[in-house]
Amino acid sequence: MPSCCASALRPTAARRPVPDVANIYQVAELARVSVATVSRIINNSAKVTEKTRQRVVAAMAELEFRPNSIAQALATNRTNCVGVLVSELYGPFFGTMLSALEQELRAAGKFVIVTAGHSDAAREKIGIQFLAGRNCDALIVHVEALPDQYLIDHDRNPAPLVIMNRVVPALADRCLSLDNRQGGYLATRLLIEKGHRNIAYVSGPLGWLDAGQRLAGHKRALAEAGIKFVEQLMVEGDYHDTGGAMALTQLLDAGLPFTGVVCANDEMAAGALAVARERGIAVPADLSIVGFDNSPLSRHVFPKLATVDYPIGNMGRMAARWVLRNVYGDETISVQQTFEPDLLERESVSAPGNPSPRATTRARVQRKSPRRSESRRRP
């Protein structure tokens, strides 16, 4: 008999047949425990010995058993899903937040459902209703337009809210916030300490809470230095790079002198940088620019952008931890709810008329090679 045929007929070790769809009764039989014990282990609803747990887990793996999520939800009154409402699904700010909180929840066996409110009260309300209708165990929301009272009223629903970048006094125990006033103050004070007196400001949408707070910090820094706030040197932006570009264009066309500009986020600052480059304005030799957020963009534009660090990734993680502790009962987890901004001084700022060496080198290259400079117009 050929060797290949002999090997095919050679007896092999017996292997337990795996059913097409394993059920909890088969897991209990293989693990030699009761169905109730298997259920408790699946739902983490009671303590069992580690030896028993390992035996049940091994049986589930051998049978390729997958718990029925609907049955689990009925048994535990939990769906293991957390709803997340953000203002936009675009850009590095919310991307960083979503990535951090999703990783934290996924590591604990939880999943996220995400929707956007676009900073519009009606859309934010629909978003919260949508997530609540999916029986999420909790909602993490970054909302700009909804009034405090709506959020307070929602708290009567089964799914608790975790509120990002905002403090609702009646729900203070579930709010995670940054001191935006201090952040705006630090950004403007940096320019003042470098010797700037004529400082322009590009705000976020003034109907948004954080935009108003950052503007208030800017005004405080000016007042402390004895510098008058000039309305004509302030333009309302939209937190997008196009808004920053339009704002700096408007400021330059107005004809009022200024040597520094503070932008309420990094995207608008990047747009301002692009306009400065297009108009032949050297940064920081002719104009210093400061952003806000410390987004990845701030480290990759030229020159690198001085900015205020907004620890949105860490805040996203803490929002997830709040849910794990207060909704799912993991009391071993610690949660930080208030955050302080840090100033990051980089190459986009110098004293008026005192550019950094790198900026001087860049200006020389622009004078010698205008075509090459034009090809690198956009950061």
Pick the CATH number of 180-310+349-375 from 1.10.1060.10, 3.30.479.10, 3.40.50.2300, 2.80.10.50: 3.40.50.2300
pLDDT value for 59: 85
Instruction: Kindly report, residue by residue over 191-236, the tens digit of the pLDDT.
Output: 999 999 999 999 999 988 899 999 999 999 999 999 999 999 999 9
For 19-75, CATH number out of 1.10.260.40, 2.30.40.10, 3.40.47.10, 2.60.120.260 equals 1.10.260.40
pLDDT of residue 321: 97
Rounded CA separation 321/331 (Å): 10
pTM: 0.73
Weakly modelled stretches of the chain, pLDDT under 50: 1-15, 18-19, 70, 73-76, 354-379
The matching CATH number, chosen from 3.40.50.2300, 3.40.50.300, 3.30.2290.10, 1.10.10.60, for 79-178+313-339 is 3.40.50.2300
Same fold, 79-178+313-339 and 180-310+349-375: yes
Q: Is the backbone peptide bond immediately before 17 cis, with ω within 30 degrees of 0?
A: no
pLDDT at 34: 87
Question: Which segments of the chain does DSSP mark as H helices, in order?
Answer: 3-9, 24-31, 35-43, 50-62, 69-76, 92-107, 121-133, 148-154, 180-193, 209-224, 241-254, 266-278, 312-326, 357-368, 370-375
State residue 40's pLDDT score: 76
Nearest-CA neighbor of 307 among 347, 277, 278?
347
Domain edges within the chain: 19-75, 79-178+313-339, 180-310+349-375
Q: Tens of pLDDT along 247-262? A: 999 999 999 999 999 9
